[in-house]
Amino acid sequence: MTSNTNTLEREKGILIVLSGPSGVGKGTVCTSLRKSSPELIYSVSATTRTPRQGEVDGVNYFFKSHEQFKSMIENDDMLEWAEYVGNFYGTPRQFVEETLRSGKDVILEIEVQGALKVKQKFPEGVFIFLLPPSLNELENRIVSRGTETDESIRSRMSVAVEEMRLMEHYDYAIVNDHVETAGNKIKSILEAEHCKRERVFPKLMHWIGEVK
């Protein structure tokens, strides 16, 4: 037996897709996770939306013009992309693929149309839907953010209802009534996913094949 066949080698990383309506707190949960689980890698999306106050290019998003975004799509640089309330959002492909190959887990924080596209390419990904405690609470959160116009609030609320209808395509649903609790649930899911027999078993085959 050689030393590298009797060790359970690090597998390819797990792709976690976190979706849920705008205002549900995906960003806040991700920020909390980034602090408590620095080993989890966050994919920074590209968008044509205007930066909000305090948002930093390359940290919150890669802010792109429509032309730049279009050429990223044409060059097949996007893992997925979607139009959401009048703006385009997409996940740069190379970063995600390279990070997963290096064995690290990657989290995408994206809306539902994009998540469903990712599911076609990565059916082995872990799809988590974050829910608000109620629709009223969701509206309160969007309004109190103070960043959206009345029209954008109305659009975001009606998209939210459509998005919740698509929850059946997800593996897990978490109600975000407390940020840290929601983050801890995501960590527990990830830990359990790493222990799934189908992820661990292929490695054991090396051992079984070596023992005569």
Query: Can you tell me the distance from the alpha carbon of 21 to that of 161, in angstroms, rounded to the nearest whole number?
Result: 8
Cβ-proximal residues to 186 (8 Å cutoff; 6+ apart), any chain: 16, 18, 29, 33, 128, 174
Single-letter residue type at 9: E
Residues near 116 by Cβ (< 8 Å), separated by ≥ 6? Answer: 166, 169
Do the bridges between strand 78-84 and strand 41-42 make them parallel or antiparallel, or are there none, so unpaired?
unpaired
Q: Which of 15, 33, 40, 45 is the binder for ligand 5GP (CB under 6 A)? A: 45
Q: State which residue, 86 or 103, has the beta carbon closest to ligand 5GP.
A: 86
Q: How far is the CB of 80 from ligand 5GP (least distance, A)?
A: 6
Within 52-111, the residues that bind ligand 5GP by CB under 6 A are 80, 82, 84, 89-91, 109-111
Q: Which residues contact 47 (CB under 8 A, 6 or more apart)?
A: 61, 62, 63, 64, 69, 87, 88, 89, 90
Lay out the site mask for ligand 5GP across 145-184 (x = CB under 6 A, - = otherwise): ----------------------------------------
In the complex, minimum distance from the CB of residue 83 to ligand 5GP, in angstroms, rounded to a whole number: 9
Look at residue 1 and give its three-state secondary structure: coil
Q: Which is nearer to ligand 5GP, 91 or 176 (CB)?
A: 91
- Cα–Cα separations (whole angstroms), residue 70 to 57, 88, 117: 18, 9, 18
- Convert residues 22-41 into a mask of x (bound to ligand 5GP by CB under 6 A) and - (unbound): x---x---------------
Least CB distance from residue 45 to ligand 5GP, whole Å? 3
Q: What are the residues binding ligand 5GP (CB under 6 A)?
A: 22, 26, 45, 49, 80, 82, 84, 89-91, 109-111, 114
